Structure 1
Amino acid sequence: MMKRNFIFIFLLILSCSHTLPPPPVNFSNKPVVIKEFFLGPGDELNVFVWRHPDLTLTTKVDPWGRIFYPLIGEIQLKKMTVLDLQKRIQKGLSKYLVNPQVTVSVKTYRNLKIMVLGEVKKPAVFPIDRPITITEAISLAGGFTLDAKQTSIIVIRGNNQNPTILRLNLKGALTKADFSQNIYLQPGDIVYIPPSIIANLERFFKRFESILRPFVDLSVGVLIWRRVEEW
């Protein structure tokens, strides 16, 4: 009798849970998707100008995020990608050359670190030697745990006083080859994978499957599962 009472209470909680309002969210569901990697202090760059070996050089971004280039002078690289810098140099050289052909590449990236926390198998701080995407970072951390909420991955970017909070849905990237939110991480980014209440309930349900099966038929089990999914 006690076991039957427990099952009844458990089913009642599950059947009512979908009526509860979702918890408030203080950040946008539409993150700023940054697909390029910003240059920064310590990056070593190769600049190649076709047919102009005197303008072809290797330079390093100084601690203030600047480089100095012949004929142009100081170039501030704040929030500038390789392509942005390439266009900036090409525009500057256009005053002296006809249709300059400029190619910029990164010879050596600076010492980069990111942090992956939450529902991953090996949460840690990871040094990286190149730009990586968020799915690559999660792979470095051993992948998701069973309780990971893949539809609400949080990226904390910037300083502690004024951080930028991004909310990403990676389920499509992993199941439907939709990589629109598989952004490149920036140095110092913190990736947090929250636990999924749905995942916890699913595991809890499976643990009690042997107890529930004698008391409920398949149709009731499907109904319970749908309601858990809706929560």
Structure 2
Amino acid sequence: MGQRSMSALSGDPGLRGATRALRWGTMWAAVMAALVALGACTQVAPSGPATGTLSPTAATHGPGNAGVPAVAVSQGYQLRAGDELGIVVWNNPDLSRTVRITPDGRIQLPLAGEVEAAGQSMSGLQRLLTDRLRAHLVDPQVSVSLQELRSYRIYVTGQVLRPGMFEVNGPVSLVQALAMAGGFTAFASRNDIVVHNPFDAAAGRREFDFRAFLRDPRRSDIVLGPGDTVIVR
């Protein structure tokens, strides 16, 4: 084929479109493979016995070693009815347990009694429980972790194929949210993605580079929390 024919072929809009489609399909195949690998690393184990108590070993070794996997959320996340919490009181296995926040927003803990948990941050609830237990224990050390989230909503907007609101039942990464929204449009800037939360000022503005994720999917992704909004420019 002559040079003129090759030049004409390279300028064919149909060929350019097919090339872009092939590149797009290859990229998302890599993303899906990365998500499978990521999911294998972030799988959550069962939260313990049906009685809702932590093992004596976990309760004895201190607040930093509850032995129960925690859900990753932003620092300012406010607890809600239906959330499940792991509470460890160091050296007091009888007080350590897994509890679920009741529909009226409360939990119960021996010695601490009934405590208003909904609307608190985890650090705030930890301080409250510590203060309650101080009347009964010498220098109580309490750890609170989030074991299970009630279903929550995230939002994906901008240059994606299916922008909108998505209700999820557990931790979702930004790349998983992009897949739920159908992926990028042809006009998306893949290195200019922003996450913000209008309901959680403490979460701040987080930036995401999709190309960096493809290079290192284990280190570059972001776990989305309730109310997080993903904006693809």
TM-score (norm 2): 0.49
Could you say which structure has the greater relative contact order, defined with CA pairs below 8 angstroms and 6 or more residues apart?
Answer: 1
